[in-house]
């Protein structure tokens, strides 16, 4: 049996980090089993579609290295060839789409797509006749029925149920209609939906992650299968598509677990074999609430824009709910494919620890060559008005690499290198912990200026230690009482690379200019 999995997102906006994890787990499992991964666009809720969302999704999957075997693909002119997919032709970082919800004609939404694979169409709005066909079959077999209830009647029913403290469920009023009444209503064009008729009893199934699961059907509502606009709901469309696309394993989020018994009944009612289910744990905030926009970034694009590297983000989300047998943290994509196991996915929710992600990203940043890191950082610098091309940029980036957690931090760490002059915050020169006041700062800088003016060797930071530390010995002060004022003079920052490294990176002329301007500020 060939393993076939699917990842079926809706085109409703940015790609949620949880959705990327679901896509990744499907990909890892499928690659390991030498199977096929299908991408399917679930766009049956036409009111929530966002222009550009499908294109953005496909670009995000490409950026993440998640290759799929069947599904929609971008036409040749839309294929991304550069490493950073969210840049314009100048290499500047841009947001890929608007988050505004729009109603778009399908020709506008999908004109830039074509398809690969033998199970298409891979966009649900192009498969409506299939859903209607199987909905009609369910009606004929007694597993579904027409419902003509108005919104007003349904609202009145809900209010009554609430007053009696009953679970909100459809009361099967239209199940009592005879064939003639139904035919008359349909002829008159009365608005209607098609509902699933949930059977009595228990529905049981085995889940790879959760084991044996049982649902009592009396707790399940007669859900809508076909809406009044003729579009299917998720429940019918995903079952029909999974069957026709020969999906063997349904790997999806825990939020779909309560819907699974409804789906199983549809499989059984249509006489189809069940796929194997695996429901992934939720992603949680540190306070154990569901990961949400209110408490931080959740869109993959936001992580990309902030400068999280692909390998780091993939490594991190792979470990959100799953861990291999060995106690390691850093894995390549090939490592993950080799080691991944659905049986080692935990049931409990996985906490999204941003501090750990930052640490992991810094590890991957340190693995890059300075040239590779510079290529990634330059697009962030190009957004700044103060940025100018500089032949020493590799030296500057070398100095910040150890402290860099995400690429978007780079402009703040590098800005002082590119400015012609610094507007000093005089209070920074003082440091109570090191017992540095304004007078000591001024005295230390004057000695440093006089000493360095006559010093010729500036190639390496080691060349500058001897003359500067001789000042410390001469003045009988502590190292910090000289180096702190120098750090501020060179950067106007409390946190920066070391003084010796800064002097070597600046060179003699620029270093002395900075020290001189700092002295003028302190003397004024």
274 is written with which tokens?
């069940």
> What's the first-to-final CA gap in the chain, in angstroms?
82
In this structure, the strands spanning 193-196 and 224-226 are antiparallel
User: In terms of C-beta density within 10 A (0-12 exposed, 13-18 middle, 19 or more buried), how is residue 138 classed?
Assistant: buried
Contacts of 164 (CB under 8 A, 6+ apart): none
In this structure, the strands spanning 249-253 and 276-280 are parallel
Cα separation of 298 and 300, whole Å? Answer: 7
449 is written with which tokens?
């200026």
Write down the residue that tokens 């590799």 correspond to.
Answer: 394
Beta bridge partners of 195: 145, 224
Active site residue 187: no
Query: Among residues 116, 26, 28, 98, which one has the least CA distance to residue 56?
Result: 98
The answer to whether the CB of 68 falls within 8 A of the CB of 24 is no
Handedness of CA 147, 151, 152, 157 (dihedral sign): positive
Cα separation of 330 and 311, whole Å? Answer: 10
**How many CB atoms neighbour CB 441 within 10 A?**
25
In 21-100, at which residue ranges do the beta strands (DSSP E only) sit?
36-39, 71-74
Cα separation of 134 and 272, whole Å? Answer: 12
Residue 385, phi then psi, degrees to nearest 5: -65, -25
Cα separation of 312 and 340, whole Å? Answer: 17
The answer to whether the CB of 273 falls within 8 A of the CB of 227 is no
The catalytic residue among 141, 293, 474, 523 is 293
139 is written with which tokens?
């009606």
User: In terms of C-beta density within 10 A (0-12 exposed, 13-18 middle, 19 or more buried), how is residue 197 classed?
Assistant: middle
299 is written with which tokens?
């869109």
Q: Catalytic residues, which ones?
A: 293
């Amino acid at each position: 049996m060939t393993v076939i999995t699917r990842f079926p997102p809706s085109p409703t906006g940015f790609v949620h980090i949880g959705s990327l994890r679901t896509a990744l787990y499907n990909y890892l499992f499928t690659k390991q089993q030498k199977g096929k991964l299908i991408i399917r666009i679930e766009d049956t809720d036409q009111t929530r579609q966002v222009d550009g969302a499908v294109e953005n999704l496909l670009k995000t999957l490409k950026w993440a290295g998640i290759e799929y075997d069947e599904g929609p693909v971008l036409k040749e002119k839309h294929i991304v060839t550069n490493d950073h997919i969210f840049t314009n032709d100048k290499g500047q970082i841009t947001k890929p789409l608007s988050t505004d919800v729009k109603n778009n004609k399908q020709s506008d939404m999908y004109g830039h797509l074509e398809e690969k694979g033998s199970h298409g169409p891979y966009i649900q709005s192009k498969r409506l006749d299939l859903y209607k066909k199987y909905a009609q079959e369910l009606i004929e077999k007694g597993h579904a029925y027409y419902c003509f209830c108005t919104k007003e009647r349904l609202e009145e029913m809900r209010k009554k149920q609430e007053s009696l403290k009953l679970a909100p469920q459809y009361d099967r009023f239209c199940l009592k209609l005879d064939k003639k009444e139904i035919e008359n209503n349909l002829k008159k064009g009365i608005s209607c939906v098609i509902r699933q008729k949930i059977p009595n009893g228990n529905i049981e199934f085995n889940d790879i992650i959760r084991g044996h699961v049982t649902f009592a059907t009396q707790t399940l509502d007669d859900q809508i299968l076909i809406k009044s606009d003729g579009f299917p709901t998720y429940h019918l469309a995903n079952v029909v598509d999974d069957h026709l696309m020969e999906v063997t394993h349904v790997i999806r989020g825990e939020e779909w677990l309560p819907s699974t018994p409804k789906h199983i009944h549809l499989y059984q009612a249509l006489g189809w074999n069940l796929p194997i289910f695996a429901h992934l744990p939720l992603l949680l905030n540190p306070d154990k609430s569901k990961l949400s926009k209110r408490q931080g970034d959740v869109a993959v694009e936001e992580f990309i824009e902030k400068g999280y590297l692909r390998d780091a983000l993939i490594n991190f989300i792979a470990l959100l709910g799953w861990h291999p047998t060995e106690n390691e943290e850093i894995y390549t994509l090939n490592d993950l494919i080799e080691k991944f196991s659905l049986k080692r996915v935990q049931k409990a929710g996985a906490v999204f620890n941003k501090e750990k992600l930052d640490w992991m990203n810094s590890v991957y940043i340190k693995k890059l060559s300075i040239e590779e890191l510079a290529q990634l950082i330059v697009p962030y610098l190009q957004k700044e008005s103060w940025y100018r091309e500089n032949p020493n940029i590799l030296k500057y980036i070398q100095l910040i690499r150890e402290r860099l957690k995400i690429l978007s931090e780079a402009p703040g760490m590098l800005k002082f290198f590119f400015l012609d002059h610094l507007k000093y915050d005089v209070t920074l020169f003082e440091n109570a912990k090191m017992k540095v006041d304004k007078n000591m700062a001024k005295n230390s800088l004057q000695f440093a200026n006089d000493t360095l003016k006559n010093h010729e060797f500036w190639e390496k930071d080691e060349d500058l230690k001897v003359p500067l530390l001789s000042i410390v010995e001469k003045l009988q002060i502590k190292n910090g009482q000289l180096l702190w004022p120098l750090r501020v003079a060179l950067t106007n920052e409390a946190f920066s690379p070391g003084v010796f490294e800064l002097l070597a990176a600046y060179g003699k002329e620029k270093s002395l200019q900075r020290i001189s301007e700092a002295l003028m500020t302190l003397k004024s």
